[in-house]
A and B are shown apart, each in its own frame.
Chain A
Amino acid sequence: MLQDSKNTKKIDFENDLEDFLEHSLSGYVSAHPGGEIIRINSKLLEWLNYTNEELIGKRITNLLAIGSRMFYETHLSPLLKLQGFFEEVSAELVLKDGSKLQVLLNGYVRNDEDNKPLFIRLNIYRATERKIYEDNLRLAITDAEKTLMAERELATLREQFIAVLGHDLRNPLGAIKSGTSLLTRSVTLSDRDKSIVGMIKNSSLRMEELITNVMDFARVRLGGGLALDLKDRLIEPILLHVTEELQITFPDRIITVDFQVKNIINCDADRISQLLSNLLANALTHGSTHEPVNVTARIEVNYFELAVSNGGKPIPEDVLETLFEPFTREASTPSQQGLGLGLYIAFQIAQAHGGSLTATSNTTETCFTFRMPVRITGEQ
């Protein structure tokens, strides 16, 4: 184009900020403090697909999709009034055809020398890729939450299953036990009958133990571990009771007892009973039938120790290593010890008490030792 050389002002594109703003890759809007649009750059018009005339005098909020509009009125507009700016706010523009464009907004208030607001200015950056990234993140969160919910439902189901198992199996078993107790007292029983009743009774006791073990295993492995009901208890009578019970079940065996515990211990008495019962039953089942089983209990300065030992064939080294894992049974012996959960649960009880359960075995004796830390709270 030919130009009158006198009137020509050569446009200096390099230094023309006006041109830079107009043809920038970002959108710019100026508005009155009340929000009416004064100026809007080409890039933003291009995005929105409106003409300049269509937007001058409209409000900034007219450019925003409803979520962003509400956010602007309730949050961004107050921020402009209170601190004069906001930065990096994600928003949605609504375009002429009704579709949305994801953007980032920065806004500030331009004041005059008397600190009165002159304009609101917004810088707008396209953020469609960022939106996709955020959407993906959100989807990942939703998926993770769904999985978590499903797992939780499963856990609840498991808890219910355990509870039902315990309740429903124990009740009929209780009836069998009461029945055998009544039969034992009957005077009309033949010796053969008595022996059969005795077998039923022992079997039902054994079954009760198995149910308890299975339920405990389920709690530990599938649930959140063994829950303890800790109370200050005089421990010795509890231990004596367990040994007496097992003596009745194994009338032909000798159980020696050496208890030196007159103290009150903070523990779950039922669980400690279970631990001793499991250890003792284990010793009576696997130990030499000709030698006694010895149970000792004592208090040291800061720990309580309970030990059960028996004579007989030593436990092989490799078995000793996995002794406290579930379903460990001695392959050589006929399966009279059930599922092999007794020692596993005893170990869990020891751990739940903050203590330890260890095993040593040689040709002289096999010994299981339980130790738990104690704070001596009282003496009889």
Chain B
Amino acid sequence: MNVLSRNNVVIRGDGTSPMMFAHGFGCDQNMWRFITPAFEETHQIILFDHVGAGKSDLSAYNPEKYKELDGYAQDIIEIANELQLENIIFVGHSVSAMMGILVAEQAPDLFKTLILVAPSPSYINDGDYIGGFSKNEIDELLASLDANHMGWSMTMAPLIMANPERAELGEELTNSFCRTDPTIAKQFARATFLTDSRSILDSCTTPALILQCSNDIIAPVEVGEYINKHMVNSKLVILDASGHCPHLSAPEDTISAIQAYL
């Protein structure tokens, strides 16, 4: 299998220092489009779609492999190896930030720097730890994924009907961004919202910038503070931004914070 087409890898930029961008749950590599232009002169930009998102190869989906974040982390390692990259600046959003830490643990030489955008090692409140959600809320979320399957798939269903004789189904699709296969999204949601990655933070020595939004219901500020406390070589920057995607809602601030750190 061709790793680069599997993950729809796109390379651009004039620089030599590699900078890899990994999108989070619910979107695709398009979500970096306001950020990457600022780095194209100085860096080699590597963009990709996780399997199940964007223009990735849906046939490469293997439920066994991708039931845990590690399956996605393996893809990141494979892309880096295929392109013979090292000393990478890895920019990961949300769940992909955690994949970045997983990769840093398994292949310590791959990443020079981690930029963790709205990361969360665990979404469920646990004693003193504030993840942002009660266990009941996460259960309700996963149940709604099952029950409200069609709602989640409204904008995406035609993709899985990848059926050459019925091409018009695909053409009806109004959204050209953030396409997600609903079945895969369901499993991805489980992997995202049920994984507790807190234990891997302490051993990660890769220099890391943590960007947290001031008003994010998915990854609240406390989560950023927790990560910062547990990673030995990290810096926390709180961006004055609403929502879970500062790279979309506050791209200038996000760029400045990354540039200042690098």
Contact = CB atoms under 8 A, between A and B. Distances in A.
A138 interface: yes
Interface residues of B, number: 40
B39 interface: no
Interface residues of A, number: 32
A67 B149 contact: no
A71 interface: yes
B218 A73 contact: yes
Interface stretch (B25-33, B73-81, B99-107): B25-33
Interface in B228-262: 242-245, 248-249
A75 interface: yes
Contacts of A366: none
A35 B140 contact: no
Contact of B154 (A77, A83, A90, A135): A90
B38 interface: no
Interface string A66-77: 111111011101
13 contacts: A61-B217, A68-B144, A73-B217, A73-B244, A74-B94, A81-B248, A86-B155, A88-B154, A88-B155, A89-B154, A89-B155, A90-B154, A92-B151
Contacts of B248: 77-78, 81-82
A91 interface: yes
A92 B175 contact: no
B178 interface: yes
Contact of B176 (A61, A74, A83): A83
Interface of B: 24-27, 30-31, 33, 94, 133, 137, 140-141, 143-145, 147-152, 154-155, 174-178, 180, 189, 215-218, 242-245, 248-249
Interface in A4-26: none
Interface in A84-136: 86-92, 134-135
Contacts of A66: 133, 137, 140-141, 144
Interface of A: 33-35, 59, 61, 65-71, 73-75, 77-79, 81-83, 86-92, 134-135, 137-138
A90 B174 CA distance: 15
